[in-house]
Structure 1
Amino acid sequence: MPYSQRPVARARRAKATELIERLVAGGRVILSDPYEDEVTEWRRVINYAKRHGLEPQGKRIEKTSCGRSGLEMFLATGPHINSRGQAQGDAPQVQVPAQLRLPHPFVIALRDNERLTMPSALRQRTLFLLQGLVGEAVQRGYKVKDSPARSWRAGEVDVVVDGFTCSVTIQQEFPQSEDPERSGKLVIELPCNRSGRQRRWGDRKRWVVEDALGAVLKEIEAGAVEDAQRKADEEWAKADREVRWKAAMV
């Protein structure tokens, strides 16, 4: 029996079709607290949709972490995140140090405590990445501060741009994998958002996380602009409501 006719394949195709319909209708699907088996199955469903060309024209299905243990799936536009150009996001390259000389106090604290549980080589690399990120952020005039850790496995820092705070997380992408190549990969993530912009960069064959730090800061800066615009819109709407209320009272 061809694979496409087997019960597992038929069920996966039906689930992929249903997922795409939900994404087209609502823009995104969020699983607040899925079991590990559920996450694995959804990843297989997404891979099935990609392999069999079920994604809408000009769109691609992306998935990212959401909250403490949630999973978010959404439709994104543009080149795949595994392309090197997309990783860099046309942003200047951020220099990552080869050793920790005069590290930022946040990096010192992370280095000297029991957080960031991962293989020593990945831990050291994560510290270098965080030093490069916070060093560039400070040079641009932004503030950085320790972020309440969601996981002992992750390095997290808050970057504050014009009052807008964004948490950056760097962690081992596949900590449970027994494959040395997969278990040696890092991923950097920003929080969930409603704009559909890129929020996840991982080590891939064509590029590594070090290449993405400039794009990460670019996304944070874009988030600050969007946040400022949102606040301005809210203030305008509030003032407009007051004017209308006073007019109605008169």
Structure 2
Amino acid sequence: MARTKLNERQLDALRRICHGETPITSDDSGLAATVYALRNRGLVTTPRADGRWSAAPTEAGLQHLAHTDATHAPHPSASAPSTVAEAAELISRLQQAGDTLHIANPTPDERARWRRALHAARADHLVPDGHHLQHTGRDKGDLVITLRPGPPPRRSTPPDETVPVPDDLPPDHLHPAAATAHIPACPECQPRARRILHALCHAVEAKNYTVSNPESGSAASLVITIGDSSFPLAFHEGAYEVPDPSGAKYAWQRVTGHTTRPSHQLDLSLEHTYAHRGRRSHWGDRQRWRLEGKLPALLREIAHRAQIEYERRQAQQRKEEETRQRWLTAMQQARTALAEDHRLKTLRTQVQAWQEAAAIRAYCDALEDHQNTDPAAAEGVTAWTTWARAYADRIDPVLQNPRLPDPPTITPEDLRPYLRGWSPYEPKRQ
């Protein structure tokens, strides 16, 4: 059968699916069309789990890539002359641009050419001594290439960290959580999957974490708990499509139907959550490694997520405590302001009463000073001023020896006008 020729972008994607350390998933939206094109050619499959797909190579895809690489492999001694020239030009442009080169949203072919130039610059030792190259935007977005001083950064993964998985283990020796875990895999893969979970359970407990089975109805196989954070972990087995001749009635009829078969490639994934968006969540069998060798990386990711969630909870608690303290301060200030207004109101009332009493007495003096020759009228004036003076004495606060008024009975609604947007019931803004 003639092999379908792939463009550069499709070849790069196929290489990454077959040999890359970072899998291509539905999160890589910029590569979705390329993956679908490879799937239509029968070179990859896209098994789904938890609403997301991950690209996996088929046997045809592996053979196609091996044939392509063998046919177009460069001479082992050095890069192709044109690539070397592009690499030299890249270093020159970087030095002229101040060690940073920004290429705005290049086309797929341009992006692949820049990546080849980067590889050639490193392989042919064109990078200036004491410097290294870094770049972002490998598959999408702007491509930014930087020439940095110093040696290239080393990976911090401890090389001696391992999670030993037994080659054989009787069912009655399995960890209880591994023995009862729900594993959606073919019968041939079940023993290996349970041994992996068995090793994972013991490694988790060795770190003083907790491992348990999920609640009924969950698609997870295990739940790993660190402090207040729980991480459901799900097992999956890949599958690939093959032609299904059962739908053809005649030997000469074209086979158009397809059926799926288990790939025997196991995959462990953390539950997808926006709290850890962009972080790696899938580990599985690939062409160059097996899932067993990726268990330490999985545990490191879980520990990292637990630390992130712990720090977020601490920050949230600090924020809530700061909000509560501001609310308590606002409530105290509101009570003080209300009490002050109560005193001012009382004072104004007393001053008004005192002024009124003084005015009444002055009025009485004016009545008494008025010359009235009519004895009956004079008697009436005297009776009136006597009553008026008695009333003035009753309302005059000075004669009552006033003191600081008692604080009023305060309800939450009384405080609302003084809180400047705070709720009088809880530490929240309204």
Q: 2:165 aligns with which of 73, 86, 96?
A: 96
Q: 1:186 aligns with which of 259, 266, 280?
A: 266
* Structure 1 counterpart of 2:191: 124
Matched residue type, 1:98: D
**Residue deviations 1:122-161 (CA, integer Å, cap 9, x gap):** 111111110110011112211110023544xxx6100111
**Residue deviations 1:23-65 (CA, integer Å, cap 9, x gap):** xxxxxxxxxxxxx8x978x97xxxxx997549xx614569xxx
Alignment of 1:72-221 (within 5 A): 89-90=157-158, 92-101=161-170, 102-110=173-181, 115-148=182-215, 150-151=218-219, 156-174=221-239, 177-178=241-242, 183-193=263-273, 194-195=275-276, 196-221=278-303
* Structure 1 counterpart of 2:247: none
How far, CA to CA, are the matches of 2:241 and 2:199 in structure 1? Answer: 27
8 Å Cα contact 2:175/2:201 also seen in 1: yes
CA change 1:39–1:145 in 2 (3 A) is closer
User: What displacement does 1:116 show?
Assistant: 2.9
CA change 1:61–1:211 in 2 (3 A) is farther
* Structure 1 counterpart of 2:312: 230
How far, CA to CA, are the matches of 2:208 and 2:107 in structure 1? Answer: 41
* Structure 2 counterpart of 1:27: none
How far, CA to CA, are the matches of 2:301 and 2:52 in structure 1? Answer: 26
TM-score scaled by structure 1?
A: 0.60
Higher relative contact order (CA 8 A, sep 6+): 1
Matched residue type, 2:306: A
How far, CA to CA, are the matches of 1:96 and 1:39 in structure 2? Answer: 28
8 Å Cα contact 2:237/2:262 also seen in 1: no
Segments of structure 1 that go 5 or more residues without pairing to the other structure are: 5-18, 21-35, 44-48, 63-84
CA change 1:94–1:230 in 2 (3 A) is same
Count of aligned pairs between the two proteins: 183
8 Å Cα contact 1:144/1:157 also seen in 2: yes
8 Å Cα contact 2:166/2:199 also seen in 1: yes
TM-score scaled by structure 2?
A: 0.37
How high is the sequence identity, in percent, across the aligned residues?
19
Matched residue type, 1:58: T
Matched residue type, 2:227: D
User: What displacement does 1:231 show?
Assistant: 0.8
Matched residue type, 1:220: I
CA change 1:237–1:201 in 2 (3 A) is same
8 Å Cα contact 2:184/2:236 also seen in 1: no
User: What displacement does 1:99 show?
Assistant: 2.1
SS of residue in 2 equivalent to 1:205: coil
How far, CA to CA, are the matches of 1:189 and 1:142 in structure 2? Answer: 18
Task: Pick the structure with more strand per residue.
Answer: 1
User: What displacement does 1:178 show?
Assistant: 4.0
Segments of structure 2 that go 5 or more residues without pairing to the other structure are: 8-28, 31-47, 56-105, 113-134, 141-153, 244-259, 334-430
User: What displacement does 1:108 show?
Assistant: 2.3
Q: CA RMSD in A?
A: 4.0
